[in-house]
Structure 1
């Protein structure tokens, strides 16, 4: 218990120096690798964000992980992200790495089996419909469970069809 309240100028200095060093490396790597590094376009992008945060926290607060170890970890994760982004250009790799968007509603029809597949409850669906300002189910063209876990709501607009490009990769069942 005493250890919790123990203060050391040396430890404080090490934390501050490590925090600044790791922060600079993250900014530098993000500038080199681009905005995609912190996007959430795929589950791997989300994992990247979590990994960077975890490495930062560990490097800054751990007494056994050096600044060099933290920098190595950060750079490695960014390089893996770049490699994954290039590898995902191949359709086979993309299918292995990414989830497939899933159609949850086709017009007013709730696709119960797809809700089960996506582990989405009706209350989750209702909440997303409210967020999308849906006041009547007749306003809905499609509801899609995206690869990121987000739910997109496409509204009907004057009986205009949805461009096929928008639904190309969406699993219907």
Structure 2
């Protein structure tokens, strides 16, 4: 091979590939931004990613584009994109494994919060979770609730979903494990251990 052939091969590799420095930067950027996104979701609360409205979806797409561009930097090549994608998927798998341990689960997931205890709304938890009374009313309607008397409790789950447990059947203690404010549920709604 001549020197010209080597230079042409090098130019071609730079067009479709990465240098080791670029690869390291893509991996470090992916790790850093993944950690930042997890921290932001952790501190901003479950509402950040739950039940996306059309506005929320547009914002999520825009955020994804910003994060993707920041990961790839000035090297948006096929190899850089593949490396960034593989890095994010590995981080997601590692985070999933971390959730298997109690300390890891607490570090990654937000807590569940009691929003209604019987027919009473827990206002302090509404503020903490950024849920409005109108949202609770809407969720009660979706669950087929026609009166607050039908409600044993409403829980804002760690996933950002809102669960409604009906009165009439005692709630077993494991269904309330790790729910902040569960002690406010009237004893008449609870199963005797």
TM-score interval, normalised by the smaller of the two chains: 0.5 to 0.7
Partner of 1:68: 79
Structure number with larger C-alpha Rg: 2
Instruction: State the partner residue of 1:79.
Output: 90
State the partner residue of 1:161: 170
Q: How many residues align?
A: 122
Q: Partner of 2:127 in structure 1?
A: 116
CA–CA separation in structure 2 for the residues paired with 1:148 and 1:118: 12
TM-score by length of 1: 0.61
Q: Please list the CA deviations of residues 86-122 of structure 1 after superposition, one character each: whole Å capped at 9, or x if unmatched.
A: 1122212221211000000111111111111111111
**3-state SS, counterpart of residue 116 of structure 2:** strand
> 1:64: Cα distance to partner?
4.7
User: How far apart, CA to CA, are the structure 2 residues paired with 1:75 and 1:94?
Assistant: 23
Q: Specify the alignment match of 1:171 in structure 2.
A: 180
Hey, what's the Cα distance between the residues in 1 that align with 2:133 and 2:123? 9
- Matched with 2:141 is 130
Deviation track 1:17-67 (CA, whole Å, cap 9, x = no partner) reads xxxxxxxxxxxxxxxxxxxxxxxxx96xx6xxx69x649x76xxx995111
Partner SS for 2:105: helix
SS at match of 1:153: strand
Residue in 2 aligned with 1:100? 111
| Runs of at least 5 residues in structure 1 that lack an aligned partner in the other structure | 1-41
What is the root-mean-square deviation of aligned Cα atoms in Å?
Answer: 2.8
Structure 2 CA distance for aligned equivalents of residues 92 and 171 of structure 1: 17
Tell me the secondary structure at the aligned position of residue 154 of structure 1.
strand
